[in-house]
């Protein structure tokens, strides 16, 4: 694993995933953690953390760029859903009665971590970095597999207006 392969997008994704994993155990609503208060949300958040971690691990493991790009694409989609869900739960529909349940700092930190994951994955998709040595080696390997170019087809004579005659 080569840590130098991590670009700014993957670093932000990793930071957001680690932060969200930790903050899920902190109080979110009325002194209760995300594990206790978010029913569907905890599944969505764990899936977001898993995809973000997968993106970072694929980049570190020197897998093909297409695998990291695919992971980033799926992470953007799931992180968008998670962010929208958290915006709804924190901003509009807090669990319990609004007068009895307070929104604790963990909810806002979790919202920020989800935003970090989304923005980092988006940044990963935008950073093609075609001039890097790894990118050049991968391109050269792909082109080497293709082999030499084929010769052009032979030129044909002018088109005939009458069909060829049958011998005989």
Report pLDDT digits (tens) over 134-154.
Answer: 666 766 776 676 666 677 788
Rounded to two decimals, the pTM is 0.76
How many contiguous H segments (helices) and E segments (strands) does the chain have?
Answer: 6, 2
Report pLDDT digits (tens) over 69-97.
Answer: 899 999 999 999 999 999 999 888 876 66
Tracing tokens 């040595």 back to the chain, one arrives at: 133
The Cα diameter of the chain in Å comes to: 103
Residue of 6, 5, 9 lying closest to 124 (CA atoms): 9
Report pLDDT digits (tens) over 9-59.
Answer: 999 999 999 999 999 999 999 889 999 989 889 999 999 999 999 999 998
pLDDT at 159: 67
Residue of 22, 15, 83, 23 lying closest to 48 (CA atoms): 83
């Amino acid at each position: 694993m080569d840590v130098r392969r991590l670009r700014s997008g993957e670093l932000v994704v990793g930071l957001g995933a680690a932060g969200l994993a930790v903050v899920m155990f902190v109080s979110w609503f009325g002194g209760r953690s995300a594990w206790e208060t978010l029913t569907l949300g905890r599944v969505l958040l764990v899936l977001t953390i898993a995809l973000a971690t997968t993106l970072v691990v694929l980049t570190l493991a020197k897998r093909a760029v297409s695998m990291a790009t695919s992971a980033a694409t799926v992470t953007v989609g799931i992180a968008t859903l998670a962010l929208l869900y958290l915006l709804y739960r924190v901003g509009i529909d807090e669990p319990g009665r609004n007068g009895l349940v307070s929104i604790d700092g963990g909810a806002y930190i979790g919202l920020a971590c989800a935003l970090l994951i989304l923005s980092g994955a988006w940044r990963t998709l935008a950073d093609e970095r075609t001039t890097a040595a790894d990118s050049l080696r991968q391109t050269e390997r792909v082109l080497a597999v293709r082999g030499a170019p084929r010769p052009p087809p032979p030129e044909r004579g002018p088109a005939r207006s009458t069909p060829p005659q049958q011998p005989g």
